[in-house]
Chain A
Amino acid sequence: MKRRGAAWQLFWAFFRVGIFGFGGGPAMIPLVRAEVVTRHHWLTDEEFADVLAIGNTLPGPIATKMPGYIGYRVAGVTGCIAAVVAIILPMIVAMIIMLGIFSRYRDVAWIRGMGQAVVPVVMVMMAQLTWDFFDKSKAALGWWVSIAMAVVAAGLIYWLGIHPGWVIGAILVAALLRPSGTKPTGAKKAEGNA
C-alpha cells in the first residue's frame, strides 16, 4: 500500500515535469531536481548530482533515464514505470492527436501552407543546435580536430554511405579503449578504420 502511494506520488511529480519541461531533456533537469530533491526528498543534493553524472555516462535521453532510475529506487519496478510513463505519455498523445488532425486536412491549401512555413523555423532550431554542439566541441577538442573529425565523418556517412552507427560506434570504442592522457586526435584514425 505504501509502495502504491509512492508510485502515485512519482507519477504526479514526473507528470508535472513532463508538462512544464520545455526545451528537451537537458533543459528539464532543474525541474526534476525541484520535484525529487526539494519537494519529495527522494534524493539528497549529492545523490541527485551522482545520478545525473551516472546518467551522462550512458547514451540516450537523460529525461527518461533519471525518472526511471529514481522511480525504481523509490518504489521498485512499479515506480520506474509510473515515473517514465508520466513524463513521456501525455505529450506523445498530444503529438498523435494534433498531427493526426493536421495531416487529415493536408489537402486544404492554407493548412499545407502552415506545414511549409514551419520548415524554416525547424531549420533555424537545428542550426542553433549545430552551433551549440560545434561550440562545445571546439571547447573540448579545438577547432581543427573538431572540423577534421566532422569532415571525415561526413565523407564516411554521406559520401561512402556508411551507416552513422558504425562511425559513431568506432569512435566510442576508440575513446573507451585508448589509454587516458593522450591527445584526442586518435579518433580520426579510428574512424578511418571503421
Chain B
Amino acid sequence: MIYWELFLAFFIPNIIGYGGGPAIIPLIEAEVVGRYDWMTAQTFAETLALGNALPSPIATKMAGYVGYEVAGIGGAIIAVVATVVPTLLLMLGALGLLYRHRDSPRVKRMSQWVRPVIAMMMAWLTLGFLLESLNSSGAIHTLIIGAVAAIALIRFNTHPAFVVMGALVYGGLFLG
C-alpha cells in the first residue's frame, strides 16, 4: 500500500511535469506535504535546501530521500523508479514518433501552456515557505536571511551551496 502510494506520488508529478526537474518540485510538494502528509513544510524545505546545495538532478534526489524516509531502501527504489522509468521507457519505445514531432508546434505548446500553472504552484510554495519561516523564526530573522540570500543568489550569483551553508551558520548561532 505504502509502496503503491509512493509510486503514485512520484509517477504523477513526473508524467505531467513539463520543464525539467525544477518544474516537478511544486508538484511533488503537493503530493508529499499536501496529499499524503509524509513530511512537514519544514522538513520538505530542509530537504530541498540540501538538494539544491548538492549536485545531480533535483527530482531524483528528492524522490530517493523522500522514498527512504517513508519506507526505507525499498521506498527509495520505488520512488526513484517512478521518477525515472516511465518517461525513459516512453523515450526508448516511441523514439521514431517523438523524433518526427520534436519540432512540432503542438509539442512546444504543451510545455508553454503548462508553464503558467507550474509558475503559480511555485509562487504558492514560495508563500508557504514564507509563512513557515515567519512562524518558526519570526519576521526579523526571516527578513535578514531572505534579503541576504536574495542578494547573494540574484545579485552576485553565489553558488547555492554557499548560501545554504551561510544560512546554516546563521541559524546555528542566532536561532538556537
Contact = CB atoms under 8 A, between A and B. Distances in A.
A54 B105 contact: no
A137 interface: yes
A114 B129 contact: no
B121 interface: yes
A127 B102 contact: no
B119 A164 contact: no
Interface string B86-105: 11101110010011011111
Interface in A55-71: 55-65, 68-69
Contacts of B159: 22
Contacts of A13: none
Contacts of B137: 116-117, 119-120
Contacts of B20: 24-26, 61-63
Contacts of B107: 57
A38 interface: no
B125 A121 contact: no
Interface in B5-23: 12, 14-23
B22 A26 contact: yes
Given A64-B60, A133-B23, A54 B102 contact: yes
A176 B101 CA distance: 11
B173 to A, nearest CB: 8
B154 interface: yes
A5 interface: no
Nearest to B110: A175
A92 B65 contact: yes
Interface residues of B, number: 103
Interface of B: 12, 14-25, 27, 30, 35, 42-43, 45-52, 54-61, 64-65, 68, 76, 80, 83-84, 86-88, 90-92, 95, 98-99, 101-107, 109-126, 129-130, 132-133, 136-137, 141-142, 145-146, 149-150, 153-154, 159-161, 163-164, 167-168, 170-176
A109 interface: yes
A150 interface: yes
Contact of A20 (B51, B55, B57, B118): B55
Interface in A89-130: 90-92, 94-96, 98-99, 102-103, 109-130
Interface of chain B, helix or strand or loop or mixed? helix
19 contacts: A22-B161, A54-B99, A58-B87, A59-B15, A59-B87, A62-B21, A68-B91, A69-B92, A92-B61, A92-B65, A99-B46, A117-B141, A125-B52, A125-B160, A130-B122, A146-B116, A149-B113, A150-B120, A176-B110
A180 interface: yes
Interface of chain A, helix or strand or loop or mixed? helix
A184 B112 contact: yes
A164 B30 contact: yes
A71 B45 CA distance: 33
Q: Which 8 A-B pairs have the closest CB atoms?
A: A117-B171, A113-B175, A92-B64, A110-B176, A60-B87, A133-B119, A123-B129, A150-B120
Contact of B175 (A56, A96, A117, A184): A117
A59 B16 contact: yes
> Residue among A22, A114, A134 with the most chain B CB within 10 A?
A114
B120 A119 contact: no
> Residue among B17, B105, B121, B141 with the most chain A CB within 10 A?
B121
